[in-house]
Amino acid sequence: MIAVHKWWAKLISYIVMVLYALLIIFPLYLMFVTSLKNNRQIFTKPFSLPGPIDYSGYIKLFTVSQYQIYFRNSIVVTLVTLGIIVLFTALASYALAKYQFRSRVLIYVYFVAGLIIPIRLGTIGILKTMIGLKLFDTSWSLIIVFAAMGIPLGVFILYDFIRMIPEELSNSARIDGCSEHAIFRRIVMPLTKPALATVAIVNFIPVWNDFWFPLVLIRSNSVKTVPLATALLFGQFETNFGMVFAVLSMASIPVMLFYLFLSRYFIKGLTSGAMKG
């Protein structure tokens, strides 16, 4: 009886996982199929396979438009932002988790407050600051804002992971003559790879997909990112939806590759976090 119950439980769990996978895969499939249709096919047969296949959206994407520049801008902004987030998150979390000082709790609460207060409330102040610093209409304006958005969440994730590292490891390294910098680089950073991967992944999609701050801080075509440039495809009288979905299909590839590259560390980080209690 117990064996039958376990078999049914396993079967139900597999069915749920398959349905969940289909729920995720189907929109991606529909997006890619739609990118191979013209406007007439999209509106008359939205769920059917393309026939005949229309590659004009991809041809215009790579030959006529400037999307190579937009993709390059998005990749540079995202990777530099993630590097800054991971570095400063690791340093701040290490200091808060391993050193005792008077305002430690207050600083941690300050970081957590960054998760509660939407940064978009300060859009006007951010715009004035970037103009004053002569960073308006540059990639650095986006990098700074996105890093400020991601660091609080990174500290929130990484703080408990670093606290879990036994202090005996650091003390042994100090006895062997390691400096604090060497302890951080040789002991803390390797042990927190799953958590660092988690920080990178959960920040990648918000940075890659953000439309608001590029709209506010960017004007030149040479600095525009993919989300901002995609909005320009929607015309007042006519829109090439095949090209829109071609852009969206291409924009989803870096997200999937980034997740697949770090998925092993991401899953390990999630399971470690689930076992903390």
As a three-state string, the secondary structure of 103-148 is CHHHHHHHHHHHHHCCHHHHHHHHHHHHHHCCCCCCHHHHHHHHHH
Task: For residue 175, give the 3-state DSSP assignment.
Answer: helix
- On the 0-12 / 13-18 / 19+ scale of CB atoms within 10 A, 224 is buried
What are the structure tokens assigned to 80, written together? Answer: 């530099």
Kindly report the pTM of this predicted structure: 0.84
What are the structure tokens assigned to 53, written together? Answer: 């296949």
What are 218-244's pLDDT values in tens digits?
Answer: 998 889 999 988 887 776 566 778 888
pLDDT of residue 271: 54
pLDDT of residue 58: 86
Q: Output helix, strand, coil percentages for the chain, rounded to the nearest 5.
A: 80, 0, 20
Closest CA to 158 of 107, 208, 85: 85
pLDDT of residue 24: 86
pLDDT of residue 4: 59
pLDDT of residue 274: 40
Domains of the chain with CATH codes: 65-274 (1.10.3720.10)
pLDDT of residue 5: 64
pLDDT of residue 74: 94
- On the 0-12 / 13-18 / 19+ scale of CB atoms within 10 A, 255 is middle
Q: Which residues of the chain carry a pLDDT beneath 70?
A: 1-5, 235-238, 265-277
pLDDT of residue 273: 45
For 194-218, letters b (16+ CB in 10 Å) and e give bbbbbbbbebbeebbebeebbebbb
Total Cβ atoms within 10 A of residue 15: 10
Amino acid at 248: L
pLDDT of residue 276: 44
User: What's the per-residue H, E or C state across 176-234?
Assistant: CCCCHHHHHHHHHHHHCHHHHHHHHHHHHHHHHHCCHHHHHHCCCHHHCCHHHHHHCCE
Mean of pLDDT over the chain: 85
Closest CA to 79 of 234, 239, 261: 261
